[in-house]
Amino acid sequence: MNTEARLKLELSEAQIEIQHLRERLTTTPPSAHKDLSLVSLVPKWSGAESTFSLEEFFSSIEGSAKIGHWAEADCLQVAVLKLAESARTFYFSCPELYRETVTWQMFKAIFRDRFKDVRTDHFHYMQLQTARQRRNEGPQEFADRCRAQAQKLVLRYTILRPNAFTKRMRSECYWLHLSLS
C-alpha cells in the first residue's frame, strides 16, 4: 500500500506540473533567440564611390536581421557600428540621427538622400553602352559588372515610373529576341 500511495502522490504532482507547463505555453509566446553574432556578416560601408552600394549595405543588414530575429533598433545600431570614413562622419554630424525617436526607416531615408547618385541616367546609360571587357577580366566578371551598371538604371527608372519601365523593357526584350532569331 505504501508504494501505491507514493505512486498516486507522484502522479498528482506530475499532473499539476503538466498543468503549469500548459498554462505557461498558452500565456507566453515562445521567444526566438536574438542572434547578434550575424553582425560579423555585415560589411563596413564608407560611402565611397568604389565600395558597394548603400542599398547592398541596407540589404545585408536587413537579411541578417531577418535570420537573427533582430528588432529595428538592432538594425539601427548595427548600421551605425558598420559605418566608416565619410559615412561615419556624416552620421556624427547629423543631429536628427541621434534622437531617441529615429527609426530604421528614417535612418535609411536620411542616408539615401545624402548618398544618392547625383549622376544622370544618361551617364549610366553611356557607361553601360561603352562598357568593354578589361584585360584579365573573365566573361562572367564582365557580365557581372554590366549587370551592376544596368541595375543602377533599372532601380532609378522603376522608382520614378514603374509601369512605363515595365512596358519599355518588354518591348525592348521582344525586339532583341526578334533580332537574335
Q: What does the DSSP 8-state code read for residue 43?
A: P
Would you say residue 140 has pLDDT above 70? yes
83: phi then psi, degrees, rounded to nearest 5: -75, 145
- Which of 114, 130, 152 is a domain's end point? 114
Q: Residue 83 pairs with which residues in a beta bridge?
A: 45
Same domain, 65 and 101: yes
Same domain, 134 and 80: no
Share of the chain above pLDDT 90, in %: 3
94-120 confidence digits (pLDDT tens): 888 888 888 899 989 988 888 877 667
Per-residue pLDDT band at 128 (split at 50, 70, 90): confident
- Which of 74, 90, 114 is a domain's end point? 114
> Hey, is 116 helix, strand or coil?
coil
Would you say residue 63 has pLDDT above 70? yes
Q: What does pLDDT average to over the chain?
A: 78
Give residue 76's domain range.
36-114
- Domain tally for the chain? 2
Same domain, 108 and 129: no
- Which of 114, 149, 164 is a domain's end point? 114
